[in-house]
């Protein structure tokens, strides 16, 4: 009797498991590094208080949303801010899981965030041209990098990034109706999510041109496709649902915008804000001020958008340009977080860093080191991270 030997390909670990293993490894490493930063920064730190201890800044608003829902008007505590500024999908998801499982909010939200980050990494793989080095950097950025705090606690950035990648994955497969459905969820996650409709428009136009169509026939041809019309109609439904809820519950459909006054955010021109941030020199020392860090990250963001245009990734470039520029009209607050949560930015950055072997390994090392510094800065109130 002869025994057939298994081929090397049959014995090989499936690619999906390899990718999952890489992402899971970074999830564990990031957890360990952030806990070490927590242990040396917070008095009486313990593993039991880790999840709650990492919940800082806006995270507290999301916890309250998941546990008690939106404020009525007037706010019972009579503070000058309500929680209407925060869009509902992620808190609603955590609140539903909390109701079903009975688990504490922060450990549950942290676990879901890590799972979404791993899922986002898997979605990113084909968008990265199936480049394993770029994928590795992408997973490390989310789960074991200086900004991993946004993707592993309770912030909407992780769901926003996951859904953005899902939309672009659907567009890459010309599944426009699915892209519209995912866009509806995206527009219920953050206000700028609604502008993904322009990315859908660009990809519909490119498909039209690839089929021999012209700009004169574009609108008639689109209107003859019910799936395309429905995709465009679905995209803003998440935002419209939230507007309707606010109108019916407190009488102000734009409360998410009007409540911004409570945070005292100024209105102005983005170039002025960026210039002023870059010129906000520290009063002492050689390290850049938090304003300068925000300004520098913004400049890098626009540089990455330029690379997207150069690479002819017009859908990603236009969407990123809108998502980066609109918040700047209200100043530099949270601009580092907004950049870090823009999926096309991370895709482009990790692809660039993966082009050279030495740069890849250097970037991995700096990401791991940055995890500790990012977590310490988060816990000690470094304003650029807020």
- Tens of pLDDT, residues 95-149: 999 999 999 999 999 999 999 999 999 999 999 999 999 999 999 999 999 999 9
> What is the arithmetic mean of pLDDT over 236-260?
91
Tokens of 160: 């926003």
**What digits encode the pLDDT tens for the residues 357-372?**
999 999 999 999 999 9
The predicted-structure confidence for 161-200, as pLDDT tens digits, reads as follows 999 999 999 999 999 999 999 999 999 999 999 999 999 9
Could you give the 3-state DSSP secondary structure of residue 366? Answer: helix
Q: Which pLDDT value is given to residue 11?
A: 52
* pLDDT tens digits, 36-79: 999 999 988 899 999 999 999 899 999 999 999 998 876 666 56
pLDDT for the residue numbered 6: 42
Distance, in Å, from the CA atom of 269 to the CA atom of 330, rounded to the nearest integer, reads 8
Residues whose CB falls within 8 Å of the CB of residue 318, separated by 6 or more in sequence, listed in order: 198, 199, 202
Q: How far apart are CA 141 and CA 10, in angstroms?
A: 32
Per the structure block, which two tokens stand in for 319? 């969407």
Residue 7 above 60 pLDDT?
Answer: no
Q: Name which of 218, 222, 212, 386 is nearest 297 in CA terms.
A: 386
Q: What integer pLDDT is reported at residue 323 of this predicted model?
A: 96
Q: Is the pLDDT of residue 377 over 90?
A: yes
pLDDT tens-digit readout, 72-82: 876 666 566 67
Task: Write down the number of H helices and E strands in the chain.
Answer: 21, 0
pLDDT single digits (tens) 119-134: 999 999 999 999 999 9
Return the structure tokens found at 372.
């500790």
At 381 the pLDDT is 87
Q: Is there a contact between 194 and 239 (Cβ–Cβ < 8 Å)?
A: yes
Q: Check residue 80 and give its pLDDT.
A: 65
Task: Tell me if 344 sits within 8 A of 192, measured CB to CB.
Answer: no
Cα–Cα distance measured from residue 224 to residue 235, given in angstroms and rounded to the nearest whole number:
19
* Mean pLDDT (the chain, rounded): 92
Q: How is the chain split into domains, by residue range?
A: 28-264+356-385, 265-355
Of 288 and 202, the one with more pLDDT? 202
* Residue 16, token pair as written in the block: 């999906």
Q: Of the candidates 172, 302, 141, which has an alpha carbon nearest to the alpha carbon of residue 310?
A: 302
Q: Which two tokens stand for residue 224?
A: 């003859």
**Is this structure's pTM higher than 0.85?**
yes
Q: For residue 337, which of 36, 28, 53, 57 has the smallest C-alpha distance?
A: 57
Q: Is the pLDDT of residue 12 over 80?
A: no
């Amino acid at each position: 009797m002869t025994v057939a030997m298994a081929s090397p390909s049959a014995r090989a670990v499936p690619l999906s498991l390899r990718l999952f293993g890489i992402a899971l490894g970074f999830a564990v490493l990031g957890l360990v590094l952030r806990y070490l930063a927590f242990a040396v920064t917070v008095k009486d730190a313990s593993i039991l208080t880790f999840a709650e201890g990492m919940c800082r800044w806006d995270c507290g608003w999301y916890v309250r949303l998941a546990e008690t829902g939106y404020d009525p008007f007037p706010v019972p505590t009579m503070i000058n801010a309500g929680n209407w500024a925060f869009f509902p999908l992620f808190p609603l998801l955590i609140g539903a899981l909390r109701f079903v499982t009975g688990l504490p909010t922060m450990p549950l939200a942290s676990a879901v965030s890590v799972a979404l980050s791993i899922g986002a990494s898997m979605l990113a793989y084909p968008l990265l041209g199936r480049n394993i080095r770029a994928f590795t950097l992408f997973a490390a950025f989310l789960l074991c990098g200086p900004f991993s705090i946004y993707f592993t606690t309770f912030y909407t950035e992780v769901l926003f990034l996951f859904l953005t990648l899902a939309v672009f994955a659907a567009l890459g497969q010309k599944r426009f109706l699915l892209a519209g459905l995912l866009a509806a969820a995206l527009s219920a996650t953050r206000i700028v999510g609604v502008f993904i409709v322009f990315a859908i428009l660009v990809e519909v136009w490119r498909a039209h041109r690839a089929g021999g169509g012209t700009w004169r026939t574009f609108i008639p041809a689109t209107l003859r496709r019910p799936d395309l019309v429905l995709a465009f109609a679905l995209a803003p439904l998440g935002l419209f649902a939230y507007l309707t809820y606010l109108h019916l519950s407190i009488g102000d459909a734009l409360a998410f915008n009007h409540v911004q006054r409570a945070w005292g955010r100024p209105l102005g021109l983005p170039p002025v804000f960026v210039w002023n941030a870059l010129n906000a020199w520290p009063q002492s020392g050689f390290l850049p001020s938090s304003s300068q860090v925000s300004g520098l990250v913004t400049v890098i963001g626009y540089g990455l958008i330029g690379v997207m245009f150069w690479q002819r990734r017009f859908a990603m470039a236009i969407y990123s340009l809108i998502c980066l520029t609109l918040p700047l009209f209200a100043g530099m607050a949270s601009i580092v977080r907004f950049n870090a949560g823009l999926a096309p930015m991370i895709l482009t950055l990790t692809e660039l860093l993966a082009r050279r072997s030495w740069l890849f390994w250097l970037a991995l090392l700096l990401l791991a080191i940055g995890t500790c510094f990012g977590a310490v800065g988060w816990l000690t109130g470094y304003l650029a991270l807020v």
